[in-house]
Amino acid sequence: MKQYDVVVVGGGIHGAGVLQAAAAAGHSTLLIERLGLASGTSSRSSKLIHGGLRYLESGQFALVRESLRERAIHLRIAAELVELKPFFIPVYRDTRRRPWQLKLGLWMYALLGGFDASTRFGAVPKREWPSLDGLKTQGLEAVIRYHDAQTDDALLTRAVVQSALSLGAELAMPASFTRATLTEDAVAVVYDQNGSSMECTARVLVNAAGPWAPHVGGAIQPAIPIPDVDLVQGAHIVLPFPVTAGIYYVESPTDGRAVFVMPWHGATLIGTTETPYRGEPDKVHPLPEEEEYLLAVARHYFPDFGHLTREHITQRFAGLRVLPAATQAAFDRSRETIFTADREPKPRVLGIYGGKLTGWRAAAAHVLERISVSLPARPRRAATDQLILRRPL
């Protein structure tokens, strides 16, 4: 039976990141992915590598600082995949956040980002408003411009796996984790591949199965702690009329939530929503009312989109956020990643719940730090903040 230092379940961005970090640290490592790389949440995000300006309002300063640091690292190591873009926040007479509040927030954003060139911000002069994709000017008082980054989440995930494979990592795909049994210092892992039941052992099993993580965790014997999480659906729609100047960060006319209107492959991507989800993660899909909610944003801010209906939507997708269980609105809940070990100080299983696309490398580094006590010392092959990520073929 094959023996690995680390076996990872789930080929989303977190599984990809842990695979790369483990291989870079010199460990033998296998990724088990059921369908295809980034087939879950990691192809259904808003595709932003960002500090998360709005998290300042809920006081998540450490998250914003880490995300801005990761954004800077992406711009250096993944220049083929991550691009800095102008973001525009239009402020109308009735917009909840006033220009001074936005400028204060952006000043803090710049501070947490170390005041580097990418954190510059300011008001767009009125004479330039006509270049803003037909943005509604009635009642418009100011447009604030700052910068954040956009990527292709699925390509980024594949690029990280490609990097891991070049360091000697292995991939079982399509292959579905079915169960695992813990022994004193190892894990016996069983998975299905091509209709056959396969077995291997791991010093540590990393559960990076995104919204399926509670299910994967529940298939481990003896039972391990599984955090109490909620699944919250987020939908996006694509409209065949492109915005090109940059990414618009607007308040929904329905409930004031922040929504992004983004250029995407010659069209416009609009998202997202927050709808509590209780079904099977496999069955998530955008609801008609979510599509109407997002269309209302397009129609409200871009009079040229005024005639658009659900029939004009060319693409739609929904993903699931994994958030700490709570009664408060999803929008206000912590976006910090939850890491759970089966035991301390020598974990055999480490689960990753929630988190951000932006933070995958930092999350993977954290996982490696937590599990290093359970792993043999190996000669390091590389540092993940130095490995250049190439656009996958």
Ligand X SMILES: Cc1cc2nc3c(=O)[nH]c(=O)nc-3n(C[C@H](O)[C@H](O)[C@H](O)COP(=O)(O)OP(=O)(O)OC[C@H]3O[C@@H](n4cnc5c(N)ncnc54)[C@H](O)[C@@H]3O)c2cc1C
Cβ atoms within 10 Å of 31's Cβ, excluding its own: 29
Which residues contact residue 345 at a Cβ distance below 8 angstroms, ignoring those fewer than 6 apart? 373
SS3 string, 115-149, reads CCHHHCCEECCHHHHHHCCCCCCCCEEEEEEEEEE
Nearer to ligand X, 192 or 304 (CB): 192
Q: Are 322 and 231 in contact (CB under 8 A)?
A: yes
Q: In this structure, which amino acid lies at residue 136?
A: K
Helix, strand or coil for residue 301?
A: helix
Q: Interface residues with ligand X (CB under 6 A)?
A: 9-15, 32-35, 39-42, 45-48, 176-177, 208-212, 216, 234, 272, 319-321, 352, 355-358
- The residue sitting closest to ligand X, measured at its beta carbon, is 12
Nearer to ligand X, 87 or 123 (CB): 87
**Shortest distance, position 92 Cβ to ligand X, whole Å:** 24
Nearer to ligand X, 132 or 216 (CB): 216
**Shortest distance, position 309 Cβ to ligand X, whole Å:** 23
The DSSP element (H or E) to which 156 belongs, if any, is: helix 153-166
Distance in angstroms (rounded) separating the CA atoms of residues 338 and 52: 18
Q: Are 353 and 338 in contact (CB under 8 A)?
A: yes
**Shortest distance, position 43 Cβ to ligand X, whole Å:** 7
**Shortest distance, position 100 Cβ to ligand X, whole Å:** 27
Residue 62: both structure tokens together: 């450490």
Question: What is the phi/psi pair of residue 165, to 5°?
Answer: -65, -35
